Amino acid sequence: MSGLSELKLGFIPLTDCAPLAAAQALGFFEEEGLAVELVREVSWATIRDKVAVGALDGAHMLAPMVLAAGGEVLAPLALNRNGSAITVSSALAGAVADGGAAALAELVAARRASGRGLLTFAVVFPHSMHNFFLRDWLARGGVDPDRDVRIVVIPPPRMVERMRAGEVDGFCVGAPWNAVAEAEGVGRMLITASQFWPGGPDKVLGVTASFAERRPDDLLACLRAVIRGAAWADDPANRDELIALLAREDRVGAPPAAVARALESEIIFHRGAAGLPRREHGLWFLAQMLRWGQLDPAIDSQVLVDQVYRPDLYRDAALSLGLVEALALADPASPLPA
Amino acid sequence: MRVLVIDPDTARAALVAQGLEGVQPLEVRRSAVYDEAEVLAFAPDVVVIAAESPDRDTLDSLKESGQGRPVVMFVDRSEPGLAEQAVRAGVAAYVVDGLAPNRVRSILDVAMSRFALTQQLRGDLAKAKADLESRKTVERAKGLLMKERGLDEDGAYRLLRKLAMDRGKPIGAVAADLLAFAGVLKGDAS
């Protein structure tokens, strides 16, 4: 035995696994006294189940998925802000042009009038920022996400091939898969998450409440290592090294040029206390879950958010690293979608 | 029985087919990935999928849309508790890797009956909720008639029942109409 505490963390092949991948590659976990096994998982359902039974101590998770676990899983750290985008097939992009969702609404009406079938959009999971981003964007343009289009679930690494096969007309997924679709000439990005909601929330590090209770020191060490990983990943000086790391087949497994795109201007890992899991983000997610019928209206959102979102744990770790900006109460980015 | 095995590995599909030997009629198909068009065309009675398949998210989302099918999952025995958790999350049953083929059939049977039971319970719950709503509406309509027409409870109910029979509509629907019109007359609908 190395004297290090063992920890098993899961991730999905997406750019926003960067803080975990960097902490591992640069030895931050070991420096914090942890021997971490980073496990690449292929589905969010498997991540959810493995975290629930303790087969994973923690994981890269969709924030609404953590809330849907009803308090059994905590969010002590946000892995990133922004990073997803809505991409439509090249054919649909030609028809919609720069008109956005409003142009899409006209197209939907025209298709209905001529008796053609519904357009199909894909998201990565029902409880996801991607689902809520897509639905809100559609609804604002006058498209009813439940009636006017069909929304299906497809795992992130499969999005591009499904669009190429003509099975989906559009999707909302995290980086780098939108850039991959563009690079391969399959689709075109219409709107990015940072245009929808600058600095808006995305993935979190989820850990079980029982792990946080049983192993508080290991959790603190883990948060310190991941915060250091996020700071490293956010630093432009490390960009090339990060791209090479993420492009690896055992991480994201995508072309370096596609990985690079969202890192240039879209995704934020660390600056401006990006890692702080903000309760207003949790409340926005719960409001969306309620809006789209995923949440029992009897559930007290305030209580659930306070149970799940743990900015106190993030602040303890950040302050122990001397990062005083974690004390900032106001969010420098806009608190709600534009 | 039509069985769809979603697994890039051919060995498990072979195990399923072997375990179901003797079932008539039987069609076991294997597909490396979940393909919606294929699933719709084939209409399997049960879907068998590896726990490590990315298509689990797709199958997981279908159970909420009502187009779900019984799903049986292959799990690795090295992850204790995972299979039980998957069942809690909606998988109908699971097969532990390395299982003897002679148990496959009973597991698929359990999965299908469990799924049918869940669907029935879901239907029953929806019906119970609707019945309760209808009863509440009838109570309120009765109250309205008692107040406006000076009827006793029994008389109000008989009037509602007569209205329902005359119009050939369920009593709950007639009660709802009555309440809606009463609202309009009082001016609270725009």
Q: What is the pLDDT along chain A (338 residues), one digit of tens a residue?
A: 568 999 999 999 999 999 999 999 999 999 999 999 999 998 899 899 899 888 899 999 999 999 999 999 999 999 999 999 999 999 999 988 777 889 999 999 999 999 898 999 999 999 999 999 999 999 999 999 999 999 999 989 889 999 999 999 999 999 999 999 999 999 999 999 999 999 999 999 999 999 999 999 999 999 999 999 999 999 999 999 999 999 999 999 999 999 999 999 899 999 989 999 999 999 999 999 999 999 988 999 999 999 999 999 999 999 999 987 776 655 555 566 76
Structural domain ending residue among the three candidates A196, A231, A248: A196
Interface probe with A: pick from B31, B61, B88, most Cβ of A within 10 Å: B61
A59 belongs to a structural domain: yes
pTM here is 0.82
Q: Are residue A250 and residue A319 in the same domain, yes or no?
A: yes
The residue in chain B having the minimum alpha-carbon distance to the alpha carbon of residue A12 is: B54
Q: Are residue A100 and residue A139 in the same domain, yes or no?
A: yes
Q: Are residue A205 and residue A314 in the same domain, yes or no?
A: yes
CA angle B110, B115, B120 (to 5 degrees): 125
SS3 for chain B is: CEEEEECCCHHHHHHHHHHCCCCCCCEEEEECCCCHHHHHHHCCCEEEEECCCCCHHHHHHHHHHCCCCCEEEEECCCCCCHHHHHHHCCCCEEEECCCCHHHHHHHHHHHHHHHHHHHHHHHHHHHHHHHHHHHHHHHHHHHHHHHHHCCCHHHHHHHHHHHHHHHCCCHHHHHHHHHHHHHHHHCCCC
Cβ distance of A154 and B84 shorter than 8 Å: no
- Tokens (6 digits) for A230: 């996020």
A88 belongs to a structural domain: yes
**Interstrand relation of B27-31 and B46-50 (parallel, antiparallel or unpaired):** unpaired
Q: Are residue A234 and residue A256 in the same domain, yes or no?
A: yes
Cβ distance of B56 and A43 shorter than 8 Å: yes
Task: Count CB-CB contacts under 10 A for residue A140.
Answer: 14
Side chain identity at residue B44, one-letter code:
P
Distance from CA of B66 to the nearest CA of A (A): 13
The residue in chain A having the minimum alpha-carbon distance to the alpha carbon of residue B37 is: A167
What is the per-residue pLDDT for A328? 65
Q: How far is CA A165 from the centre of its chain?
A: 25
A161 belongs to a structural domain: yes
* pLDDT tops 90 at residue B71: no
Q: Are residue A45 and residue A90 in the same domain, yes or no?
A: no
Q: Are residue A255 and residue A309 in the same domain, yes or no?
A: yes
> How many domains is chain A partitioned into structurally?
2
From B37, B51, B58, residue closest to A46, measured CB to CB = B51
Using one digit for the tens of pLDDT, what is the confidence trace for B96-127? 766 677 888 888 888 888 888 888 888 888 88
Output the domain CATH number for residue A191: 3.40.190.10
Q: Are residue A314 and residue A212 in the same domain, yes or no?
A: yes
What is the per-residue pLDDT for A334? 58
A337 belongs to a structural domain: no
A192 belongs to a structural domain: yes
Range of the domain at A176: 84-196
* pLDDT tops 50 at residue B190: no
Q: Are residue A132 and residue A29 in the same domain, yes or no?
A: no
Q: Are residue A205 and residue A305 in the same domain, yes or no?
A: yes
Residues from chain B contacting residue A125 (CB–CB below 8 Å): 57, 61
What is the per-residue pLDDT for B54? 82
Structural domain ending residue among the three candidates A137, A172, A196: A196
Q: Are residue A279 and residue A303 in the same domain, yes or no?
A: yes
Cβ distance of A55 and B79 shorter than 8 Å: yes
A335 belongs to a structural domain: no
A234 belongs to a structural domain: yes
The residue in chain A having the minimum alpha-carbon distance to the alpha carbon of residue B79 is: A55
A334 belongs to a structural domain: no
Q: Which comes out higher in pLDDT, residue B146 or B93? A: B146
Q: Are residue A37 and residue A90 in the same domain, yes or no?
A: no
ipTM confidence: 0.79
What is the per-residue pLDDT for B98? 67
Mean model confidence pLDDT for chain B = 84
Distance from CA of B182 to the nearest CA of A (A): 29
What is the per-residue pLDDT for A97? 79
Q: Are residue A93 and residue A171 in the same domain, yes or no?
A: yes
